[in-house]
Every structure is written in structure tokens, then in C-alpha cells.
Structure 1
Amino acid sequence: MARPRTPLLSKERIRDAALELIDSDGLAALSMRRLADALGVQAASLYTHYATKEAVLDAVANRLIAEVDTTGFEHGWREGLLTWARSYHAALAAHPNAVPLIASGTQRRDEFLGMANAVHGGLVGAGWPARRATEISGAVKYLVIGAASTPFASGFADDVQIYLDRYPHLMQAHRLRADAARIDHDSFELGLQCLVRGLEPGPPAP
């Protein structure tokens, strides 16, 4: 039998299948066996491309971070932060089950390291001290990760009776779920705008 023109597996196909499993069933559900089943192969076949499950997860993380835009620093540090934060948030909002993976940090992930390098370089190049640049990057990351992992508006119950007797200031909370996407977007934008507007050049905190 002739060999297929294209291989059955590739790093990209395995990575994308892993992301699909994470999206549908959550990060904890991913295993090499389940990934192999989804691809219709034996688990041993995966190890030709990825030595460990952690390597697959690194590839997934790199794919998501590759969607983040750090080019805004070409137009100033404020524009850089806004562009970076918005694209970072969008990448995570599209894959909420993968947020804990992204929150685990740069480690040795190339795309992560490239993103961190671009952000830090953009801030330092604009005149921020290196330590304060690191603090600013951390503050933006906290905002992005928090917004992506803990949506606010959708967390309220639909039943108005829950609020009527004991929580009168929340009597309209049952309406939030219907407009959750807009409220969460606007809340993130408010936090981001306040953070960026509030930054003033100066020495890092002691």
C-alpha cells in the first residue's frame, strides 16, 4: 500500500485537537489517551511529535499567545498597553477553559517569552524604569486573567425572588445575565482605561 501524501499526524493537528478537547471538556480532562482517541490513533503515535502532555500544553499556550498583538508600542506606551491588553483578553475570552494554562506563566514557552520581551521592551523604551515596567506588565496581566476567568454579570441568578427580601440593592441583578457579554466587556474596558490613565511616570514603589 502506498504511503499517504500527507502524514496522519502533525504537531499542529495534535495541538489543535488538544485545544478542542480543552474547549469542550476542560483542562483537567485532557490526557494523551483521550487526545489519541479524538485523533483516531494510538497514544504511542503522539509521542513521536510531543514527548509529554506538558509539551502539548505548551504548544496550545503558544498558539493562543500568538494571537496577542504587541505592535501597539510602536505608537507609544499607552497605545501599546491598550492594544496588548485587548488582544490578550480576546484570545482568552475565546477559550475560557484554557485560562488556567495561560495563567501559569511564561515558563519556556517561546510565544510567551516573545510577548513578555515585546511588552517590557516597549515600556522601557518609552522611558519607564525596568522595575516599574515589570509592575505595569503584571498589573495588566492580572486584569486580563481576572476578566477572562471570572465573568461578572453572568454570575447572578435569574430568579428575582432571591434578591427581593434580603438584598434589595440587587433587585435588578436577575436582568444582568441577559446582557452579560456587554457588561463584562464594558467592565473590562473600564478597568483597563482607569489603569492606563492612572499610570504616571515616576520611581517604582519601595
Structure 2
Amino acid sequence: MARPRNPLLSRERIVATALALIDEEGLGALSTRRLAARLGVSGPSLYNHFATKEAILDAAADSVVAQVDVSMFQDGTHDWRSALLAWGRSYRAALTGHPNFVPYLAVGPGLRPAGLRMADAVFGAMVEAGWPPAQATRIGALMRYFVTGSALGSFAGGFVGDPDAYDPADYPHLGQAHLLAEHREHVDASAFETGLRALVDGLALQFK
């Protein structure tokens, strides 16, 4: 029997292709027609694996969240402070790897398994550390706000590289602003680290 011209369709292949399409062209580019064309199949064949386009998006979202390390909440070697710091860094790394997908990832986990496992690990660890359940919920939420917000865009990348763009007569304190875009990755990562540490230090002041 001759081998099929295209690899057999699977949920994993559909999700990976959908995520690649979003990474390259943005969320608005994803449609079942475009996705089927990339996969070399007919559109209806996708529905053998996913009932709707939203189900594909949810599966892609979960595949990104599954990259986030939550072991620090369960390995018994981290206190809650160091666990939040390590988790925040891993969380941001997963999201910044797929910047076009961050707006979709900013929504709560719904019924997505990896998202629910992450929420469960964070909440459980905070309660076990001594935080009241209501405050543990708020901590998980504020970390989501902070991490997804940092991954939504680049502060440094918002400046142009032209040294004449920022007239000192108008912006007397932005004489070096044109250098920010060139050092975008370092500036953004350093800003995230500063904010993350400030956030955890602030929580530590509330912990009793």
C-alpha cells in the first residue's frame, strides 16, 4: 500500500500547526480553512479531532501553559517566595515564546487541563504555606496579571532608534531613549525581574 502523501492528521499536529500560524501571522490569521490548507487536508477533516475552532485555540493555549514549570510548588525545596519567583520566570518565558498568543492566554484556564493544574499547584502551595484561601486566590490572579501584562508588549521596543527623535527641549530626560530599542530584550527582562521581586517582597510584608 502506498504511503499517504501527507502525514496522518492528529490532535498534536493540528495544535502545533495552529500555534505556528498564530506565531507567524497573529490570532486573526487562524481559521479552519487556513489551518486545513497548511496541513494539506480538507477543512471538515479537522472536525474529526476538534469540534470548533475555539477548541483548537484552547488546546493550543494549553500546550503553551504546559511548558510552564510548576514543580517548585511541589518539590518541597522551595518556600512560597522562591517558588513564586521561579514560577513567574518560567511562566513569562513560555508566554514570550508566543507573543501573538498572549491575549488569548490572558483569559482564565476555563477547563484547560494544564491551566487548571497550574492554578491548583499555585493555590495549594500558597494555602499550605499559610495564606488564607481568599488571599491565595488573589496571589494567583495578580501573578497572572503581572506576567501576562509583561508579555503583551515591549516597553523598550516602543522607542525609535533615531537619536534626533527626542528633542531635549521637549523631553529633557530622554536623551538616551533612542538606545532602548537596541537593548530591548535586556531592558524588558530586567524590568520584569525588578517588578517580580518587588511584588514578592510586597507580599512578604503582608504575610503573617
| Cα deviations by residue, 1:148-173 (Å, 9 ceiling, x for unpaired) | 00211111011222212311211110
Match of 1:194 in 2: 198
Match of 2:165 in 1: 162
| Cα deviations by residue, 1:46-105 (Å, 9 ceiling, x for unpaired) | 010101000100110110000111111232111211111111100001110010110021
Match of 1:127 in 2: 130
Note the aligned Cα RMSD (angstroms). Answer: 1.6
Match of 1:87 in 2: 90
Q: Report the AA paired with residue 197 of structure 1.
A: D
| Cα deviations by residue, 1:120-167 (Å, 9 ceiling, x for unpaired) | 001001110001111111111111011100211111011222212311
Task: Tell me if 1:105 matches 2:105.
Answer: no
Match of 1:182 in 2: 186
User: Matches of 2:25 and 2:125 in 1, distance apart?
Assistant: 37
Q: Equivalent residue of 1:161, what SS?
A: coil
Q: Report the AA paired with residue 11 of structure 1.
A: R
Question: Which 10-residue stretch deviates more, 70-79 or 172-181?
Answer: 70-79
Match of 2:65 in 1: 65
Match of 1:55 in 2: 55
Match of 1:152 in 2: 155
Match of 1:16 in 2: 16
User: Matches of 1:35 and 1:105 in 2, distance apart?
Assistant: 25
TM-score by length of 2: 0.92
State the Cα distance separating 1:199 from its structure 2 match: 1.2
User: Matches of 1:183 and 1:158 in 2, distance apart?
Assistant: 14
Aligned identity (percent) is 52
Structure 1 segments unaligned to the other structure (5+ residues): none
Q: Equivalent residue of 2:103, what SS?
A: helix
User: Matches of 2:130 and 2:115 in 1, distance apart?
Assistant: 23
State the Cα distance separating 1:3 from its structure 2 match: 6.6
| Cα deviations by residue, 1:17-44 (Å, 9 ceiling, x for unpaired) | 0000000000011000000001111101
TM-score by length of 1: 0.93
User: Matches of 2:142 and 2:11 in 1, distance apart?
Assistant: 34
Q: Equivalent residue of 1:63, what SS?
A: helix
User: Matches of 1:160 and 1:179 in 2, distance apart?
Assistant: 14
Q: Equivalent residue of 1:68, what SS?
A: coil
Question: Which 10-residue stretch deviates more, 103-112 or 14-23?
Answer: 103-112
Structure 2 segments unaligned to the other structure (5+ residues): none
Q: Report the AA paired with residue 122 of structure 2.
A: V
The residue correspondences of 1:22-37 to structure 2 (distance < 5 A) are 22-37=22-37
User: Matches of 1:136 and 1:47 in 2, distance apart?
Assistant: 38
